Amino acid sequence: MSEAIHPVPEAWAKNALINADRYAELYRQSVEDPDGFWRQEAQRLDWLTPFTRVQRTSFDEADFGIRWFEDGALNIAANCLDRHLAVRGDAIAILWESDDPSEPERRISYRQLHAEVCRFANLLKARGVGRGDRVTLYLPMVPEAAVAMLACARIGAIHSIVFAGFSPDALAGRILDCGSRLVVTADEGLRGGRRVPLKANVDEALTHCRDVDSVIVLRRTGADVAMQAGRDVDWHEGVASQPAECPPEAMNAEDPLFILYTSGSTGKPKGVLHTTGGYAVWASMTHQYVFDYRPGQIFWCAADIGWVTGHSYVVYGPLINGATTVMFEGVPNWPDPSRFWQVVDKFGVEIFYGAPTALRALMREGDHWVQKTRRSSLRLLGSVGEPINPEAWEWYHRVVGEGRCPIVDTWWQTETGAAMITPLPGATDLKPGSASKPMFGVAPQLVDSEGKVLEGATEGCLVLTQSWPGQMRGVWGDPERFFQTYFTTFPGKYFTGDGCRRDADGYYWITGRIDDVINVSGHRMGTAEIESALVAHEAVAEAAVVGMPHAIKGQGIYAYVTTNAEVEPDEALRRALVQWVRHEIGPIATPDVIQFAPGLPKTRSGKIMRRILRKIAENETSNLGDISTLADPSVVATLIADRPQLA
Ligand code: PRX
């Protein structure tokens, strides 16, 4: 790993909201006197009923619970909209860029957004949606996605966004799990010049979801789609008759705000539940400090709203802070690899926040795609979703930012709500590849596999010992699973699932997942999920999926497949299985390699030895460790001999 250091630029140290001394002082306060610290930070919101109690949190089994600001009431949509109207009603809230560069941008002011949200909230109510009801959103990256989220929040409904790249089956599973009765979608999505049949996917999904009685359909491309009378409503026709005023519901701080499904070690994605008050404080505070955000600046987080990054840094964090947030419908390399930087120039983007996988892909295309744009507006860059390799970091810094922009490499998770370990641009000297230091209120610890706390420069499992306001509050519909998944591996501590190194300067270096989760292009996939999709195919007897290093995606998907006895595996079957997984889960789960395996390495008790499969996938076969405990050690030699030669 590179140990280069980029010191805080002088101008940043002088002008940033938080410099090094201030960071040290506030961090100490945040962990030594959390109640005092958070009582103060929570004043950034408008509360309808002020809270008196800051937190009641415990990670111990006996009195387990996570509650923040629990006797306060607020409405997060009102914090994103209403309170800005008097001071910046005509300022731009959302700057939208189409997938198609020839389509005009949209500029939506806070006042317009407020009216749209109220109308849509009234439409939801007219369809019978109220407090606590779940609403599934399956939408492209258009301003209406933010409108739908905020409309749910305004009336106290819980949104569950399903990334529009997921298959009808994956969508159906998520609708059923949270019991939504209403789905919001579009006729089609548009990505990289290709159309995505969203409404058709919803129709297919709904053949499994009998309880859905309303589908609101946004016209995005104008494609001719089937509309089911009584059930399906055209968005614009639906809102036309609705008033542009809708009083925000007073929500308790601990009332649910959203559910977002994410992958874990087990087969079924879990519905991560976030609540209102703590999440709002956490999203807003981190957006302000991590990005040194000042009102009026143009902020662009290039994530899709289908992921947590889009929730916290396209919508909630920026809008609570009265920012102008850029929403981009397209992809980084279409129509050509300078698209991101063209959009930066077009809007005068000052802060850009993206994923390492996109940077690696763009880096490969050559510097001239970047250099043909000006990027003179950029002052700060961010990275999120997976470890950023030092080469990509240096390229981002030198070529995109022309050496002038600090890079904040933010480590966090769907479960943590917002950024947890991250540099602050005016406070932290940067080390490429390190997420660096904990955010206020975050208490990281490294432990060994027995839970022994490791001190100083060391490497171990990353745990967090204190609660923070944006922490997830539960797994939807499965309260036991929350405690089981996160708090039993190391009792009394939140286990992140990540491995991590800490250097002599106290910098944290995330080394990647140590559970059966892989990170493909910054998207989290459970190996068990892909395995269950594979074994659902009639030709497959058994499957084992592991991650493998991938130059662009970070990790690729490597699947070992044992076919049924009567099936002769061939190229046609390999292709069919790739298609099958895409159809079952979605294109993001496309296997990079399928290796047919006559047998898998198993212990005598039948447990698959993934450690060995990982090594073979990584082509690290010289040091496989002890294989003598396998039921049939000879399968290993066969797997090595049959390993496909990868480019
Ligand atoms: O392994 C870590 C990796 O992504 C995981 C969380 O994925 P997800 O819930 O989809 O959230 C992604 C967006 C916040 C983590 O457990 N990860 C995320 N950010 C980083 C990272 N790994 C290294 N460095 C990061 N900056």
Q: How far apart are CA 149 and CA 161, in angstroms?
A: 9
Half-sphere exposure in the Cβ direction for 438 (13 Å, CA)? 23
Give 369-409 pLDDT, tens digit per residue.
999 999 999 999 999 999 999 999 999 999 999 999 999 99
The DSSP letter of residue 415 is G
- Assess contact for 576 and 568: CB atoms under 8 A: no
Indicate whether 471 pLDDT > 80: yes
Give 230-284 pLDDT, tens digit per residue.
999 999 999 999 999 999 999 999 999 999 999 887 778 999 999 999 999 999 9
Secondary structure of residue 540 in the 3-state scheme: strand
Mutate to test the pocket of ligand 1, among 411, 501, 525 (most ligand atoms within 8 A of CB): 411
Share of the chain above pLDDT 70, in %: 100
Q: How many whole angstroms from 498 Cα to the centroid of ligand 1?
A: 9
Indicate whether 293 pLDDT > 90: yes
Q: How far is CA 646 from the centre of its chain?
A: 30
Residue 631 has a pLDDT of 87
Ligand 1 atom nearest the C-alpha of 419 is: 14
Q: How far apart are CA 564 and CA 541, in angstroms?
A: 5
Name, in order, each residue with C-beta under 8 angstroms of 473's C-beta and a sequence gap of 6 or more: 66, 254, 256, 273, 274, 275, 482
Residues of the chain with CATH 3.40.50.980: 110-247
Please count the residues of the chain. Answer: 647
Nearest CA to ligand 1 atom 15: 413
Instruction: Give the residue-averaged pLDDT of 600-622.
Output: 90
Q: How far apart are CA 500 and CA 519, in angstroms?
A: 15
Distance from first CA to last CA of the chain, Å, rounded? 25
Ligand 1 atom nearest the C-alpha of 415 is: 9
Q: How many whole angstroms from 355 Cα to the centroid of ligand 1?
A: 10
Give 493-524 pLDDT, tens digit per residue.
999 999 999 999 999 999 999 988 999 998 99
Ramachandran area for residue 58 (φ above 0: left; ψ -120 to 50: alpha; else beta): beta
Question: What's the token pair of residue 332?
Answer: 């980084």
Nearest CA to ligand 1 atom 12: 385
Half-sphere exposure in the Cβ direction for 82 (13 Å, CA)? 21
- Assess contact for 136 and 183: CB atoms under 8 A: yes
Q: How many whole angstroms from 248 Cα to the centroid of ligand 1?
A: 33
Instruction: Give the residue-averaged pLDDT of 111-131.
Output: 98
- The CATH number that domain 110-247 falls under is 3.40.50.980
Q: How confident is the model at residue 606 (pLDDT cuts 50, 70, 90)?
A: confident
Secondary structure of residue 180 in the 3-state scheme: coil
Q: What is the DSSP string of 471-513?
A: ---EETT-HHHHHHHHHTTTTTSEEEEEEEEE-TT--EEEEEE
Q: Which residues are annotated as a binding site for ATP?
A: 385-387, 409-414, 498, 513, 524
Predicted ipTM of the assembly: 0.99
Residue 331 has a pLDDT of 96
Ligand 1 atom nearest the C-alpha of 383 is: 26
Q: How many whole angstroms from 413 Cα to the centroid of ligand 1?
A: 5
Q: How far is CA 373 from the centre of its chain?
A: 29
Residue 646 has a pLDDT of 75
- Assess contact for 198 and 166: CB atoms under 8 A: no
Q: How confident is the model at residue 624 (pLDDT cuts 50, 70, 90)?
A: confident
Residue 239 has a pLDDT of 98
Q: Where are the alpha helices (DSSP H) in 264-367?
A: 277-290, 308-310, 317-320, 339-347, 356-365
Q: Which residues are annotated as a binding site for CoA?
A: 191-194, 309, 333, 521, 582
- CB-defined site of ligand 1, < 6 Å: 262, 308-309, 384-387, 409-414, 435, 496-498, 510, 512-513, 519, 524
- Assess contact for 577 and 591: CB atoms under 8 A: yes
What is the residue-averaged pLDDT of the chain? Answer: 96
Nearest CA to ligand 1 atom 3: 386
Backbone phi, psi, residue 352, to 5°: -120, 135
Q: How many whole angstroms from 457 Cα to the centroid of ligand 1?
A: 22
Identity of the amino acid at 92: I
Nearest 10 degrees: CA dihedral of 287, 291, 294, 298? -100
Identity of the amino acid at 457: A
Pick from 610, 600, 596, 599: which is nearest to 642 by CA? 596
Q: How many whole angstroms from 501 Cα to the centroid of ligand 1?
A: 15
Give 328-380 pLDDT, tens digit per residue.
999 999 999 999 999 999 999 999 999 999 999 999 999 999 999 999 999 99
Task: Give the distance between the most distant pair of CA atoms in the chain.
Answer: 74
Residue 265 has a pLDDT of 77
* Residues facing residue 501 across a β-bridge: 459, 509
Pick from 213, 214, 219, 212: which is nearest to 235 by CA? 219
Nearest CA to ligand 1 atom 26: 411
Indicate whether 286 pLDDT > 50: yes
Nearest CA to ligand 1 atom 10: 524
With the C-alpha atoms ordered 303, 309, 315, 320, is the resulting torsion angle positive or negative? negative
Q: Does domain 521-642 have CATH number 1.10.760.10?
A: no
Ligand 1 atom nearest the C-alpha of 388 is: 24
Question: What's the token pair of residue 334?
Answer: 């279409």
Q: How confident is the model at residue 647 (pLDDT cuts 50, 70, 90)?
A: low
Residues of the chain with CATH 3.30.300.30: 521-642
Half-sphere exposure in the Cβ direction for 367 (13 Å, CA)? 11
Q: Where are the alpha helices (DSSP H) in 366-512?
A: 368-371, 390-395, 479-487
Indicate whether 1 pLDDT > 60: no
Q: How many whole angstroms from 634 Cα to the centroid of ligand 1?
A: 37
Nearest CA to ligand 1 atom 11: 413
